Chains A and B, each alone.
Chain A
Amino acid sequence: MQLRKKKERMSQEINAGSMADIAFLLLIFFLVTTTINAEKGIRVKLPPWSDEEVDPTQLNTRNVYSVLVNYNNELLVRGEPTQITDLRKNCKEFIMNPEGREDLAEKPSKAIVSLKNDRGTNYETYLKVYNELKGAYNELWDAEAEKEYQKVYEDLPNSAKKAIQDKIPLVISEAEPVDTQGK
């Protein structure tokens, strides 16, 4: 009688041995069904839609950095053929105008980058160009942050970021693409 009682009491314990199996099963399910996708990209704010086109030619040509990409994915920057690899340095020089040249931007806050492409331009090229232009601004902001606050731009508080952006505003205006191939 006594022995029986003991047995009953022992069987009350739940066997947790299979817990690991269950957890493994779930783990494998999640491993298989999911993908770690760090979604990254270039963030852009499009201008609101309006029927009237802003004509950049009305602006002082000195302040406009025009980039044209044709359907052969070739670049024409301010009327001169350029390589994508030179774009970043060229653009930075245009915005800051360290030597005070007559033909570059009066001051950074007045500089406008105008990007125009063909309907036949490759998306890859377009994004490369955009990446370089954005990279130019990022590098300028970093340099400014280093000069003013001795910090990396990303680590600055929002107010300081805004102050820098007011000084060197990012203006990339995109014109309606031209259609030279009937695409």
Chain B
Amino acid sequence: MSKFKKKRGNSTPGISTASLPDIVFMLLFFFMVVTVIRNAELKVDVKVPIASELKELEDKSLVTYMYIGKPLKRYQEDYGTAPQLQLNDKFAKVSQIPFFVEEKKLKVPERNRDKMTTSLRIDNDVTMGFVTDVKTELRKAGQLLVNYAASQGEVK
């Protein structure tokens, strides 16, 4: 009896790492599902305003993004410091919006087209003149659902 006991104490069983891959895979899948790969590189500086009445965007595949803000330092030589519009990963003129919207529409099945949303990520310091021009173009292009991107917080 005592012999048996001794043997047990001596051999230190290594910790099984067989379940480690499972744990890691679980983490991996979690991150794969909850994260979205950012498709466009930002060329403008955008600090969105703070607001409290926010809603989350539902279907990401139906959302197109437009960015308005001051060009980043390295682009200021070519584009100046006045606010610029960025579509996809290029600087664009406001007059290019209808074409851009039309292009996006083609990629979406017809039954979903009226649910398409444009998310406007606009910097705090942009003046409304610019924003209104963009809105007018969107209205002319028939893209009426708009989301003003903002971050959650208390408005002071």
Contacts and interface: CB of A to CB of B under 8 A. Distances in A.
A130 B150 CA distance: 12
Given A130-B148, A135-B53, A119 B139 contact: no
A23 B21 contact: yes
A24 B155 CA distance: 42
B84 to A, nearest CB: 14
Contact of A123 (B54, B63, B127, B139): B127
Contacts of B25: 23
A43 B147 contact: yes
B1 interface: no
Interface string B15-28: 00110110011011
Q: Which of B18, B20, B136, B140 has the most CB of A within 10 A?
A: B20
Interface in A109-150: 117-124, 126-128, 130-132, 134-135, 138
Interface residues of B, number: 56
Contacts of A49: 136, 139-140, 142
A46 B128 contact: no
Interface size range on A against B? 35 or more
A99 interface: no
A159 to B, nearest CB: 20
A157 interface: no
B122 interface: yes
B31 A131 contact: no
B55 A43 contact: yes
| Interface class of chain A by DSSP | mixed
Nearest to B129: A119
Contacts of A45: 144-146
A135 B138 CA distance: 25
A41 B52 contact: no
A40 B18 contact: no
B139 A48 contact: yes
A41 B124 contact: no
B129 to A, nearest CB: 3
Interface in B105-121: 117, 119-120
Contact of B128 (A38, A44, A117, A134): A117
Contact of B17 (A17, A43, A123, A124): A17
Contacts of A20: 17, 20-21, 24
A49 B140 CA distance: 5
Interface of B: 17-18, 20-21, 24-25, 27-28, 31-32, 34-38, 48-49, 51-57, 60, 63, 117, 119-120, 122-129, 131-132, 135-136, 138-140, 142, 144-152, 155-156
21 contacts: A19-B21, A20-B21, A34-B35, A34-B36, A39-B56, A39-B119, A40-B54, A40-B149, A41-B147, A41-B148, A42-B54, A118-B128, A119-B132, A120-B129, A121-B127, A121-B128, A122-B128, A124-B49, A127-B150, A131-B53, A177-B132
